[in-house]
Amino acid sequence: DAGITQSPRHKVTETGTPVTLRCHQTENHRYMYWYRQDPGHGLRLIHYSYGVKDTDKGEVSDGYSVSRSKTEDFLLTLESATSSQTSVYFCAIRTDSSTEAFFGQGTRLTVV
Amino acid sequence: AQSVSQHNHHVILSEAASLELGCNYSYGGTVNLFWYVQYPGQHLQLLLKYFSGDPLVKGIKGFEAEFIKSKFSFNLRKPSVQWSDTAEYFCAVRSMYSGGGADGLTFGKGTHLIIQP
C-alpha cells in the first residue's frame, strides 16, 4: 500500500469550522498529492507538493490550503468548511523513479 | 490543461463477456497514460500504465490497453470478465502543472462496471 496513512478516515463537521486532514508516508517520497473524489467528476487535484515547503495549486484549490513541514506529512486544511466540500479525499504519492501515483485509503468528510 | 473523456459511465455485463472501456485524452505533448480500478469501499489501485514502447500494454488480472496515438485513445480491454471485476474504472493522464517538475494526474469521470453472475 506504499506506506500511506490518511487520518482521520471519517469525519463529520459543521459548516464554518476548520478541518485538517493528514497524509503520512513512511518512505520519504518527494511528491505528494491531495485529490477529492465526487460522483460524476472522478478525481480532481486540489494541491500537490514536490518537497518540504514546496507546494502548488491544482485544479480545485479554492477553499483549501496545504502545508508540508516534513517530508513524511502533507496536511490539507479547509479553513472554513462548506457543504460543497463534502467529499472523499485521497492522498497520493509518487516516487522519483515512477510515473504512476499510489493512493491512500481515503478520508470521507461530511460537512453538515 | 489535459482533459480525459470516458465514454461509458455505466456498463453492465454478464460473466464471461468481453469488455472494452473507452478513454480519450486531449493532446498535450508526451503522455503517460493509466488505468486505475477502485473496488467498492477501497482506494484506487493501478491496473496498467503506458509511457513508451509497445502500445499494447498488459496489466494485472488479465486487463490490457492499447495506446493509439493518432486517435488520442487508450482503451481498456478484457476478453472475459468475472463477477469480481465489478468496480469503478478510471482512465488518467499525467499532466504538467508547473516548471518545478511536479505533476498531477488528470482523471476521467470514471466508468461504473457491474458484472452479473
Going from N- to C-terminal start, the domains of chain A cover 1-50
- Cβ neighbours of residue B54 under 8 Å, at least 6 residues apart? none
**Using one digit for the tens of pLDDT, what is the confidence trace for A35-77?**
999 988 999 999 999 999 999 998 899 999 999 999 999 999 9
Could you give the CA distance from residue B23 to residue B39 in angstroms, rounded to a whole number? 19
Q: Is B97 a residue whose pLDDT tops 70?
A: no
User: A-chain residues within 8 Å CB-CB of B106?
Assistant: 45, 59
Q: Min CA distance, B112 vs chain A (Å)?
A: 10
Nearest by CB to B43, from A40, A44, A106: name it. Answer: A106
Q: How far is B89 from chain A (nearest CA, A)?
A: 10
Place of cell 463529520: A12
The HSE-up count of residue A20 (CA atoms within 13 Å, CB side) is 8
pLDDT score for B98: 41
Q: Which amino acid is at A23?
A: C
Per-residue cell: A65: 490550503
Whether B108 has a pLDDT exceeding 90, the answer reads yes
The number of C-alpha atoms within 13 Å of B3 and in the hemisphere containing its C-beta is 4
Q: Average pLDDT of A89-110?
A: 91
**A42, B109: Cβ pair inside 8 Å?**
yes
Instruction: Name the residue in chain B with its Cα closest to that of A38.
Output: B109
For residue A2, what pLDDT band results from cuts at 50, 70 and 90? low
Indicate the range of A12-16, B50-54, B63-67 predicted with least confidence.
Answer: B50-54
Q: What is the spatial distance between Cα B47 and Cα B112, in angstroms, rounded to a whole number?
A: 15
Q: How confident is the model at residue B50 (pLDDT cuts 50, 70, 90)?
A: very high
Strand ranges for chain B from DSSP E:
4-6, 10-14, 19-21, 23-25, 33-38, 45-50, 56-58, 64-68, 73-78, 87-96, 103-107, 111-116
Confirm or reject contact between B59 and chain A (CB < 8 A). Answer: no
- Residue B63's pLDDT band, with cuts at 50, 70 and 90, is very high
Q: Which of A70-84, A97-111, B89-103 has the lowest mean pLDDT?
A: B89-103
Q: What is the pLDDT of residue B100?
A: 40
Nearest by CB to residue B107, choosing from A43, A56, A99, is: A43
The verdict on B39 touching A (C-beta cutoff 8 Å) is no
Q: Do A100 and B34 touch (CB under 8 A)?
A: yes
Mean pLDDT on B23-36? 86
> Which residues, numbered 51 to 80 in chain A, qualify as contacts with chain B under a Cβ-Cβ cut-off of 8 Å?
54, 56, 58-59
What is the pLDDT of chain A when averaged over all its residues?
93
| Any A CB within 8 A of B79 CB | no
CB-CB neighbors (< 8 A) of A31 in chain B: 102
**Cβ B100–A50 below 8 Å, yes or no?**
yes
Query: Tell me: domain B4-116, CATH 3.40.190.150, correct?
Result: no
pLDDT of residue B101: 43
Q: Above 90 in pLDDT, residue A16?
A: yes
Query: Within an 8 Å CB–CB cutoff, is residue A3 touching chain B?
Result: no
